[in-house]
Amino acid sequence: MNILSPSVAAQLAEFAYDSIAAVSKSSSNIEPSRIISKHFVFDSKKSAFTGVSGTVAEHVLNHATGFGFFGIGSKEGAHKGEVVLTFRGTAGIADTLTDLHCGLTVGPNYKAVHAGFNRTFESIKPQLKAILSKVGGRPVHCVGHSLGGALATLAANWIKAQYKVPVKLYTFGSPRVGHNPFAIQSETSLNGIYRAVHRSDPVPMVPVWPFVHAGNEYRISTCVSLTGAAHKMAGNAPGYINTASLYPDYKSMEKGSLSNLTMTRLKYNNRHHASFNAHWAEKITSALLTLLRESGKITSVLAQGVVAGTLTIYDALARSLVEISKMSSKYAEDCQGLLGHILNFVGKPGVIAVDYTYAQAKRILYWMLEKLNQVVIAAVKVSPYMGIGY
């Protein structure tokens, strides 16, 4: 099973959007680009599958639309006999992503995952079942952009668990799908995870911790200032299709560090260095995790998340920070440093974090969540056609 080249993977992720027309206009032919056709064959009648996304109402009404394609490796290409599944993203995804009360549900590998993503995946699953029951033991590539990346992640794990075939996963600008146990299970069971991001794309930063990514991050554009446009497949700002085409293979891309394993300590005096970008978002999360791990609080904080949503976790987190800072003067310094950096990160350098209470710590953490979510929803909120969606 060969790894898809970044260009083929990106084009496949983009091609998945053609399934909208392929399903709604039965007359339209599907025309994959030459670079895709070299390796995979699609059938305009049989390749498309549908899904339901968005609000509960849409699920109730069963508003199914084209959600992607499955293709078969041609005998002339580099992926002979292999299968590819490609999933599209969707408009109006922001609310799902930034829903701080978002719950968890049992995912395809029996680990907790984001309930919203899983609901859309469940609407596609019966069709995947029908396809996969006929492809035998062939290796599968799962590909997707944005929400499609989350769906590809769920599909890859489900296929691995059900069919025990080799599965590789390729995503572009994918949000986080589950908590740590899901990520670890994905990493150990899948036969390769190729998670490409633009560092300036805010979507891979949500939903916020304790949601985490599986697999290494391949950074195909390294500018750190967060902008919504950096999430797009098409266009030049910088556009995933564009940036992916610049690399002959995944090996030549810059790999991001696994920030949740590094030790980070932030000194209060240096707090003014922090500003709102991808670099500091990572540093702050890492410092938070370092504190929680060292003080032994991480288990109790995470336990909250199993039964409740993100907000409850951050409430518990605020309480823990106050408790941790009372344990020793060293911890007190670390907590202060962390909160000081968050205040600068969210653009409130004037607020002083000394001798903070639970209520203050909570307010500071909420500001951080809000600020992160803002980048993701800002554009959609003012966009009048949102809600029409698919």
| Beta strands at 140-145 and 112-114: parallel, antiparallel or unpaired | unpaired
Size of the site for other proteins (CB under 8 A): 54
Asked whether 353 and 284 are in contact (CB, 8 A), the reply is: no
Q: Which of 31, 187, 254, 370 binds other proteins (CB under 8 A)?
A: 31
Nearest-5° Cα angle at 203, 199 to 206: 110
CB closer to other proteins out of 27 and 62: 27
At closest approach, how far in Å is the CB of 242 from other proteins? Answer: 6
Dist CA 124 CA 155 (whole Å): 9
Angle between helix 329-345 and helix 310-327 axes, rounded to 10 deg: 140
Q: Which of 61, 106, 246, 303 binds other proteins (CB under 8 A)?
A: 246
Token pair of 261, please? Answer: 């394993």
CB closer to other proteins out of 146 and 264: 146
- 330-359 footprint of other proteins as x/- string (CB under 8 A): ------------------------------
Q: What is the DSSP string of 238-267?
A: S-HHHHHTT-SSGGGSEEPP-GGGS-----
Note whether 224 binds other proteins by CB under 8 A.
Answer: no
CB closer to other proteins out of 58 and 334: 58
* Cβ atoms within 10 Å of 205's Cβ, excluding its own: 24
At closest approach, how far in Å is the CB of 259 from other proteins? Answer: 23
At closest approach, how far in Å is the CB of 318 from other proteins? Answer: 30
Pairs from 131-134 (Cβ < 8 Å, separation ≥ 24): 131/49, 131/70, 131/83, 131/85, 132/83, 132/159, 132/162, 132/163
Note whether 236 binds other proteins by CB under 8 A.
Answer: yes
Token pair of 210, please? Answer: 């304790």
Q: Which of 263, 267, 383, 387 binds other proteins (CB under 8 A)?
A: 383
Q: Which of 198, 231, 271, 341 binds other proteins (CB under 8 A)?
A: 231
Q: Which of 106, 110, 187, 234 binds other proteins (CB under 8 A)?
A: 234
Token pair of 34, please? Answer: 């030459």
Say which amino acid occupies 52.
Answer: V
CB closer to other proteins out of 106 and 246: 246
Q: Which stretch binds other proteins (CB under 8 A): 40-48, 214-222, 287-295, 322-330?
A: 40-48
- 166-195 footprint of other proteins as x/- string (CB under 8 A): ------------------------------
Q: Which of 51, 54, 139, 239 binds other proteins (CB under 8 A)?
A: 239
Q: Which of 14, 99, 282, 334 binds other proteins (CB under 8 A)?
A: 14
Per CB under 8 A, contacts with other proteins among 87-126 are 88-94
Main-chain phi, psi angles of 145, to 5 degrees: -115, 140
Q: Which stretch binds other proteins (CB under 8 A): 151-159, 251-259, 283-291, 382-390?
A: 382-390
DSSP H helices in the chain: 6-15, 19-24, 34-37, 56-61, 94-98, 115-135, 147-163, 180-189, 240-244, 278-295, 298-307, 310-327, 329-345, 358-381
Nearest-5° Cα angle at 71, 68 to 75: 165
Main-chain phi, psi angles of 181, to 5 degrees: -60, -40
Dist CA 63 CA 124 (whole Å): 12
CB closer to other proteins out of 161 and 229: 229
Note whether 127 binds other proteins by CB under 8 A.
Answer: no
Angle between helix 278-295 and helix 298-307 axes, rounded to 10 deg: 110
Note whether 134 binds other proteins by CB under 8 A.
Answer: yes
Q: Which residues sit at the interface with other proteins, rule CB under 8 A?
A: 7, 14, 17-18, 20-21, 31, 33-35, 37-38, 41, 43, 46-47, 72, 74-76, 88-94, 131, 134, 146, 203, 228-229, 231-236, 239, 241-242, 245-246, 376, 379-380, 382-386, 388, 390
